[in-house]
Amino acid sequence: MYMYFNGEFIRQEEASISPFDHGYLYGLGVFETLRTYKGHPFLLEQHLDRLNSGLRQLQIARQFKYAEVLEWIQKLSELNALPDSYIRFNVSAGPGQIGIQTTAYESPTVIIFQKELPVFKPLREKEIIFLKLTRNTPEMDTRLKSHHFMNNVIAKREVGADPNKEGIFLTEKGFLAEGVTSNLFWIEDNVLHTPAVETGILKGITREFILGLAVKVGLSVKEGFYQKEDLIKAEEVFLTNSIQEIVPVQNCEEHIFSGKNGTYTKQLYHLYHQIVDLHVSTK
């Protein structure tokens, strides 16, 4: 498998980074995960906007343009013969001296990984459980998609390896937050609800995209601070992320939801894929 590494396309087994990289030493770095459909990365511009914002906040002196990243991803897709794939675009601070650095990082390590997508059945359902581990507070004013991933790792261990289960974080104050690797939505009385970004969740790219689609299927949208009870009484519940798209929730503990048969969940899923098909056909 090939990867993009600091301006070159190399075999993954040939890659190496400096032990002095502050991404390794101090977790200074950000990343994006996205899907390609027939070689075209979906919502790439939005992912790059978030990535570039994170780099500025971490004082990593690199900004990425849509055209250059598109070219890299399309080249990788050709080399690996993977038109439909999982992409991870990873930027760490790069090498520095041992010790906390206050000046900007001028030589970041830039890596794009690509791998095959697992086989996802359309609208496959999941069970959600409430985590005992609370969501940690963001390191900055808003949560970055950063290398500080310990909270998610420990949460995943709490859930276990079952791919059909997702853990839901609560904040320290008991408000609904997000999944281990997903954003959370539910529908009640023609209103699409989701926890507010102010709870400390990641402002997901697919989350924002779904909020934009909601009005097109006749839903109003409400972001806020919610309790478990608000979710449990919902008619439809689903999760989103850039790789799995829209994932219906079948149950939470003894509470049963509409799952893949949810009226609005199905509409959003089909509209999502109509836009993906349109995106691919116009490229």
Give the ranges where 106-184 is alpha helix by DSSP (H). Answer: 150-159
How many CA atoms are closer than 13 Å to the CA of 83, on its beta-carbon side? 3
**How many Cα neighbours within 13 Å face the side chain of 21?**
18
Note the pLDDT of residue 121: 75
Are 255 and 276 in contact by the 8 Å Cβ rule? The answer is: no
Nearest-Å Rg of the Cα atoms of the chain is 19
Class of 126-280 per CATH? alpha beta
Under 8 Å between Cβ of 71 and 39: no
Query: For residue 283, what pLDDT is reported?
Result: 66
Supply the pLDDT for residue 281: 78
Same fold, 2-116 and 126-280: no
Residue ranges for the chain with pLDDT beneath 50: none
Q: How far apart are alpha carbons 248 and 261 in whole angstroms?
A: 9
Question: What CATH number has the domain spanning 2-116?
Answer: 3.30.470.10
What end-to-end distance do the CA atoms of the chain give, in Å? 25
pTM summary value: 0.96
Distance CA 197, CA 194 (A): 9
pLDDT value at position 190? 96
Q: How far apart are CA 164 and CA 162, in angstroms?
A: 5
3-state class percentages of the chain: helix first, strand second, coil last, to nearest 5:
30, 30, 40
Q: Spell out the domain ranges in the chain.
A: 2-116, 126-280
DSSP conformation class of 238: E
Q: Which residue has the tokens 């399309």?
A: 74
Alpha carbons 166 and 177: distance in angstroms, whole number: 13
Contact 264, 187 (CB under 8 A): yes
